[in-house]
Amino acid sequence: MPDFLPIAYFEGNFVPFKDANISIATHALHYGTGAFGGLRGTINPQNPKQVLLFRLDRHCKRLSNSAKYLHYDLPATKIYDVIKDFVSKNAPTNPFYIRPFVYTSDLGVAPRLHNIEKNFFVYGLEMGDYLSPDGISCRISSWYRQEDRSLPLRGKISGAYITSALAKTEAVDAGFDEAILMNSQGKVCEATGMNIFMVRNDKLITPSFDQDILEGITRDSVITIAKNLGLEVEQREIDKTELFIADELFLCGTAAKVTPVKRVENYHLSPERPITTKIKETLTAITENRDPNYQDWITVIDL
């Protein structure tokens, strides 16, 4: 059982986490008609009475856009205010993860998005490393990422995560740590909850937005950091076989941060990964508000 933060935001109020419960008839539970966000909070290493949130505005904007896909008008400013209050009321003392969720809260049956009650909750849990920071093994999944013509992949729609769950379990059952999914065109897409980057010939390469990826906020941050470090960044289609001969490979996401890949299927990657290491160190410094060049990415909350 995770260590949940004691207070949740539920049906418009802050309540004890244990009292924030939904009915078994909740529409979203049956039809996957929810969407979530996920962001990390860090305790400022220089001041334990301060919480640092990474790219809060971007996370709120993406969730507000996800809500739009569900025909739910929830302004990013509202999400922003609730999350700031949520953090103040919980006063966390360890690194944590915030999970805001928008959903069809109606108790009626029949999948639809019109004439139906919607709602928004937020809860949190303490979170350390999601994947081993020293590197992981990845299986090429037999499951393919969905297509944008079937569902809005730019939103983190809860129902879509069945594919991630299938892929993750398939990989773990086969002795791997994570899965890399191809898109419907057979090109490299992403992992079960992370975007993917490859280094070849000193160039950083990641699938472009037209490859059915999630528009990851860590991905966006990595691209900015890399360009500021003077690296060339290319966003394009990636063939599966390029992964096997990559100079470096890493996954990135809010939970996973920057996680190096040591092995894809039975292809072992070099333990030397200077570019991954530099990007990872820079991102860590930014999230701890130690890098003056990126302070506008950090929201400081005084407890």
The CA distances from residue 99 to 4, 30, 59, 87, 302, in Å, are 11, 20, 11, 12, 20
Rule CB under 6 A: choose which of 5, 52, 102, 194 binds ligand PMP.
Answer: 194
Rounded to an integer, what distance in angstroms lies between the CA atom of residue 222 and that of residue 279? 7
**29 to 48: interface string for ligand PMP, x by CB under 6 A:** ---------x----------
* Residue 253 in contact with ligand PMP, rule: CB under 6 A: yes
* Residue 225 in contact with ligand PMP, rule: CB under 6 A: no
The CA distances from residue 256 to 14, 144, 251, 291, 297, in Å, are 28, 21, 7, 21, 18
Least distance (Å) between residue 150 CB and ligand PMP: 15
* Residue 189 in contact with ligand PMP, rule: CB under 6 A: no
Nearest residue (CB) to ligand PMP, 7 versus 156: 156
Least distance (Å) between residue 232 CB and ligand PMP: 22
The CA distances from residue 162 to 9, 101, 177, 236, in Å, are 26, 17, 18, 26
Two tokens at 111? 């999948």
Span interacting with ligand PMP, options 192-200, 223-231, 257-265, 292-300, rule CB under 6 A? 192-200
Rule CB under 6 A: choose which of 64, 66, 105, 254 binds ligand PMP.
Answer: 254
Interface with ligand PMP (CB under 6 A), residue total 13
Q: Write the DSSP assignment of 77-144 as a string of letters.
A: HHHHHHHHHHHHHH---S-EEEEEEEEE-----S--SSS--EEEEEEEEE---SS-TT-EEEEEEEEE
**149 to 168: interface string for ligand PMP, x by CB under 6 A:** -------x------------
* Residue 214 in contact with ligand PMP, rule: CB under 6 A: yes
15: left (phi over 0), alpha (psi -120 to 50) or beta: beta
Per CB under 6 A, contacts with ligand PMP among 95-154 are none
Least distance (Å) between residue 38 CB and ligand PMP: 5
* Residue 287 in contact with ligand PMP, rule: CB under 6 A: no
Q: Hey, what amino acid is at 76? A: A
| Nearest residue to 155 via CA among 29, 59, 257 | 59
Nearest residue (CB) to ligand PMP, 27 versus 219: 219
Least distance (Å) between residue 180 CB and ligand PMP: 12
Rule CB under 6 A: choose which of 35, 131, 217, 269 binds ligand PMP.
Answer: 217
* Residue 193 in contact with ligand PMP, rule: CB under 6 A: yes
Contact 97, 223 (CB under 8 A): no
| Nearest residue to 162 via CA among 135, 192, 187 | 192
* Residue 195 in contact with ligand PMP, rule: CB under 6 A: yes
Rounded to an integer, what distance in angstroms lies between the CA atom of residue 122 and that of residue 37? 9
Rounded to an integer, what distance in angstroms lies between the CA atom of residue 226 and that of residue 276? 10
Contacts with ligand PMP, residue ranges (CB under 6 A): 38, 156, 190, 193-195, 214, 216-219, 253-254
